[in-house]
């Protein structure tokens, strides 16, 4: 019975195994990427960058059809360009970074949808926007696993400067003799590139609109449980993996699309953490434990 429920779908179908492995790899990246998006208060920035992928993907699609590499490269370039432009504009005009990002991602998504609709069918559009997790092939599995490997290795290098940059951004610049391009700025830039790489890699599995969900929702939930940066990253990865497994199994038995199912399960984790979380969950606010003597 339990075997039928939990194991059989993966034992019987290769596409379920592929989907599971793809999600596990994305979950590994989600630990560091999601955690630092939340810690740096860049959650919305991650969302905006995932939308900004679209016009690049659309251009790749227009020129080469539904091919992985042109679409991935196009997405990478478009998203990095938008992140760069938003940074430049927030420094040179009175608009804050969030406003300029919102402006760019609305333009991106509108132009992306327009290009795809002109050159493809609604099925193509749905595929690009929401992915097709059960149709993950070897090439995209390699891309996803490669992105996860790159992320974990790169984080081993930039971890310490990135933590300091979040906590006290001036400190590293002073220690570097006041240069603007100190190790903190470099770590931040590498981090932005990694975010985009993971968004693009997750696109095939979860689509441009949903790939940010598996990166961000578990991290937001984990922030309500974990008290250290390391704990936060581990909890995030763990929650992302659990959401992937549960979502896949649910979508199999209930016969629903798998990407949205996974993101919804992650969303449920988030809501449950909001209510029950050890650090600042609502239960602590409305059912406070008695105060201590000192």
Partner 1 sequence: MNVAHKHVHRAPLHAAEGTAAIAVCNLTVAYNRHPAVHHLTGEFREGSLTALCGPNGGGKSSLLKAIVGLAPVVSGHVDIAGDRKRAIAYLPQVVEVDRGFPLKVLDVADLGHWRRSGAFGRLGAAHRQQSLAALAAVGLQGLELRPIEALSVGQFQRLLFARLIVEDAPIILLDEPFNAIDQRTTEDLLRLIVGWSREGRTVVAAIHDLDMARRAFPETLLIAREPIAWGATREVLSDAPLARARSLAEGWLENAPVCEVPA
Tokens of 238: 């763990």
Q: What share of the chain is helix, strand, coil (3-state, %, to 5)?
A: 85, 0, 15
**Min CB(183)–partner 1 separation in Å:** 6
x/- map, 31-60, partner 1, by CB under 8 A: --------x---------------------
Residue 288 makes contact with partner 1 by CB under 8 A: no
Residue 93 makes contact with partner 1 by CB under 8 A: no
Phi-psi label, residue 177: left if phi above 0, alpha if psi -120 to 50, beta otherwise: left
Residue 174 makes contact with partner 1 by CB under 8 A: yes
Which region among 22-30, 43-51, 67-75, 163-171 touches partner 1 (by CB under 8 A)?
163-171
Q: Which of 107, 150, 154, 164 contacts partner 1 by CB under 8 A? A: 164
Which residues, numbered 177-196, are part of the site for partner 1 (CB under 8 A)?
177-179, 183
Contact 71, 204 (CB under 8 A): no
- Rounded-to-integer distance, Cα 154 and Cα 63, Å: 32
- Rounded-to-integer distance, Cα 236 and Cα 221, Å: 8
Residue 92 makes contact with partner 1 by CB under 8 A: no
Q: Which of 32, 55, 75, 161 contacts partner 1 by CB under 8 A? A: 161
Residue 171 makes contact with partner 1 by CB under 8 A: yes
Judge residue 11's burial from the number of C-beta atoms within 10 Å of its C-beta, 0-12 exposed, 13-18 middle, 19 or more buried. Answer: exposed
Sign for the pseudo-dihedral over CA of 25, 47, 248, 223: positive
Considering beta carbons, is residue 11 or 174 the nearer one to partner 1? Answer: 174
Please give the size of the binding site for partner 1, defined by CB under 8 A: 28
Map residue 172 onto helix, strand or coil.
helix
Considering beta carbons, is residue 49 or 232 the nearer one to partner 1? Answer: 232
Q: Which of 65, 135, 146, 227 contacts partner 1 by CB under 8 A? A: 227
Place of tokens 């990253």: 233
Sign for the pseudo-dihedral over CA of 155, 157, 158, 159: positive
Considering beta carbons, is residue 114 or 175 the nearer one to partner 1? Answer: 175
Q: Which of 89, 232, 245, 266 contacts partner 1 by CB under 8 A? A: 232
- Rounded-to-integer distance, Cα 223 and Cα 218, Å: 9
Contact 140, 205 (CB under 8 A): yes
Which region among 2-10, 25-33, 173-181, 242-250 touches partner 1 (by CB under 8 A)?
173-181
Which parts of this chain interact with partner 1 (CB under 8 A)? 39, 157-158, 160-161, 163-164, 166-179, 183, 226-229, 231-232
């Amino acid at each position: 019975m339990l075997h039928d429920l939990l194991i059989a779908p993966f034992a019987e179908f290769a596409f379920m195994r592929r989907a599971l492995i793809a999600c596990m790899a994305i979950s590994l990246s989600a630990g560091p990427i999601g955690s630092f998006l939340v810690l740096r208060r860049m959650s919305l920035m991650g969302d905006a960058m995932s939308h900004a992928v679209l016009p690049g993907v659309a251009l790749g699609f227009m020129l080469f059809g539904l091919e992985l590499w042109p679409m991935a490269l196009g997405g990478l370039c478009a998203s990095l360009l938008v992140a760069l432009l938003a940074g430049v504009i927030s420094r040179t005009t009175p608009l804050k970074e969030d406003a300029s990002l919102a402006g760019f991602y609305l333009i991106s998504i509108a132009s992306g949808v327009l290009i795809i609709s002109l050159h493809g069918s609604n099925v193509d559009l749905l595929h690009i926007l929401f992915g097709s997790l059960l149709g993950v092939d070897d090439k995209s599995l390699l891309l996803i696993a490669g992105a996860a490997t790159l992320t974990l290795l790169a984080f081993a290098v930039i971890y310490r400067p990135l933590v300091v940059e979040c906590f006290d951004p001036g400190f590293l610049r002073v220690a570097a003799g006041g240069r603007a391009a100190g190790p903190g700025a470099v770590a931040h830039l590498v981090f932005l590139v990694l975010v985009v790489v993971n968004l693009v890699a997750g696109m095939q599995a979860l689509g441009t609109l949903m790939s940010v969900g598996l990166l961000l929702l578990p991290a937001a939930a984990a922030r309500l449980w974990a008290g250290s940066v390391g704990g936060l990253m581990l909890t995030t990865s763990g929650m992302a993996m659990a959401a992937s497994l549960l979502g896949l199994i649910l979508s199999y038995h209930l016969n629903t699309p798998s990407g949205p199912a996974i993101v919804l399960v992650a969303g449920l984790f988030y809501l449950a953490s909001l209510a029950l979380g050890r650090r600042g969950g609502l239960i602590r606010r409305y059912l406070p434990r008695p105060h201590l003597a000192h």
